Amino acid sequence: MSFPRYPGYKDSGVEWLGQVPEHWNRTALKFLADYQNGYPFKPDERGKTGLPIIRISQLTGDDEPAYYSGTLDERVKVRNGDLLFSWSATIDSYIWNKGEAWLNQHIFRVSPSKEADKRYLYYAIKHVAPKLADFDAHGSTMRHIKKESLGEKIYVPSVFDQGLIATFLDRETAKIDALIAEQQRLIELLQEKRQAVISHAVTKGLNPDAPMKDSGVEWLGEVPEHWQIKRLKQITSQISVGIVVEPSKYYDDLGKVPALRSLNVKPGYIDLADCVYITNESNRLLKKSVLRSGDLVIVRSGQPGTCAVIPEEMDECNCIDLIFLRRPEHGSSQYLMHQLSSESARYQYGAGAEGAIQQHFNVKTASELVVAWPPLREQGEICQYLSRRIGEIDALSQLAEHSVSLLQARRSALISAAVTGQIDVRGLASQGDPV
């Protein structure tokens, strides 16, 4: 639906803000709340007991919290319903709802003044704060907001109207969030389907009437009678690991040779985004880990088992802290990649995992991996089948991911329009009309 505009507008005098409703008041974020910074916890103060420490990675859901069992000023303690504002790296606002916790130094606890509605301020910070960081950032690797930036000019409506805008946004963003959750669940189901299709094809084959035999391996079960059961070391001439000793000393901005890291290895393909490069001279020096087309690389830490085949255009690239294996001497690289992506392979990565923080497996574990190995012609048929089926599933996943992106953009645009007065939603605050 389309939204009405306010009756009159005036120039805000702020380039990114443009025109604002003529009856809105000039102010700044610093006048709308008190911003209490968190405590600078040292690594050795973080433990496994006490109250959790809220860091940015906990707000974004990327990490589990550390804990602190000591005593601190109550001003750095957070409780349910508190408004939080991360001012470094990830610049955003959050409503905390996970119980009492300590606040880390890169996050403000925001206590609204009598001129501000907390829910409106939550949405306003979401839109305004990144604008402040864009022109007042410091540091070469992360954006920051300094407290002085909070004094930049903005315009807001009355507290009553702030509440109406917040009520409207609460309702409409909840609808959008529900649609996003549906699409994200669809993506998860498609990924599960993708995994199941691969696992079935490389352990049971394509012929449902083929005679079966016990593989002798508990997690593999029955396989076609004419297939072989092999260790990975029997299929390839070399299994090794890429550069592990001070790899960064070889990085060169003028280098032409890709040096693949785990972030470049995606399920079934190589992604050169954020790739580092080395020179031809360094590549010759590091010839033991030079890769040829048809070789395979496998992530060994974090998400062990994610693997891809080196394409022809990347012949003679290199790799860093990845397990690599030479192309099969009597088999298909693509088929082996699918095998190493199957559930039976993933089970073995887990069984061979080591390291207390994240899953990690080594060359020895990789060498002993058990795989089901059909004749070469059948490998080709399975690869053709999987190429078609995975392509269909991935196309559906891409559509769902595109839908998520559009919905997220729509959510941001709606918040922006409402908190800057580009739309007048006061009459819609109590309605249930869809956006």
- In whole angstroms, what separates CA 294 from the centre of its chain? 29
Checking if the pLDDT of 399 tops 80, the result is: yes
Checking if the pLDDT of 420 tops 60, the result is: yes
* pLDDT, position 361: 72
323-341 burial, b for 16+ CB within 10 Å, e for fewer?
Answer: bbbbbbeebbbbbbbbbbb
Q: Do 25-156 and 228-373 show the same overall fold?
A: yes
**230 with 373: CB under 8 angstroms?**
yes
Burial of 279 (0-12, 13-18, 19+ CB in 10 A): middle
Report how far residue 10's alpha carbon sits from residue 22's, in angstroms, rounded to the nearest whole number: 5
**What digits encode the pLDDT tens for the residues 230-284?**
999 999 999 999 999 999 999 999 999 999 999 999 999 999 999 999 999 999 9
Domain positions in the chain are 25-156, 228-373
- Look at 166-170, 337-341, 363-367 and tell me which has the smallest mean pLDDT: 363-367
Name the pLDDT band for 178 (thresholds 50, 70, 90): very high
Checking if the pLDDT of 350 tops 90, the result is: no
Burial of 363 (0-12, 13-18, 19+ CB in 10 A): middle
Tokens representing 414? 């709606």
Name the pLDDT band for 116 (thresholds 50, 70, 90): very high
Name the pLDDT band for 360 (thresholds 50, 70, 90): low
User: Average pLDDT in the 160-188 region?
Assistant: 97
Report how far residue 188's alpha carbon sits from residue 165's, in angstroms, rounded to the nearest whole number: 34
User: Average pLDDT in the 313-323 region?
Assistant: 95
Instruction: Tell me the DSSP string of 320-367.
Output: BS-EEEPPPTTS-HHHHHHHHTSHHHHHHHHHT---SSS-B--HHHHH
CATH topology of domain 228-373: Adenine-n6-DNA-methyltransferase TaqI; Chain A, domain 2 (3.90.220)
How many CA atoms lie within 13 Å of 310's alpha carbon, on the beta-carbon side?
27
Q: Which of 123, 122, 87, 113 is nearest to 32 (CA)?
A: 113
Coil vs helix vs strand at 103:
strand
* pLDDT, position 268: 92
CATH for the 25-156 domain, from 3.30.470.20, 3.90.220.20, 3.40.50.2300, 2.40.160.40: 3.90.220.20
- In whole angstroms, what separates CA 391 from the centre of its chain? 22
- Look at 157-161, 198-202, 291-295, 349-353 and tell me which has the smallest mean pLDDT: 349-353
Report how far residue 382's alpha carbon sits from residue 384's, in angstroms, rounded to the nearest whole number: 5
Tokens representing 184? 């994200």
* pLDDT, position 431: 60
* pLDDT, position 137: 45
* pLDDT, position 197: 97
Q: Which residues fall within 8 angstroms of residue 207, CB to CB, at 6 or more apart?
A: 224
**36 with 108: CB under 8 angstroms?**
yes
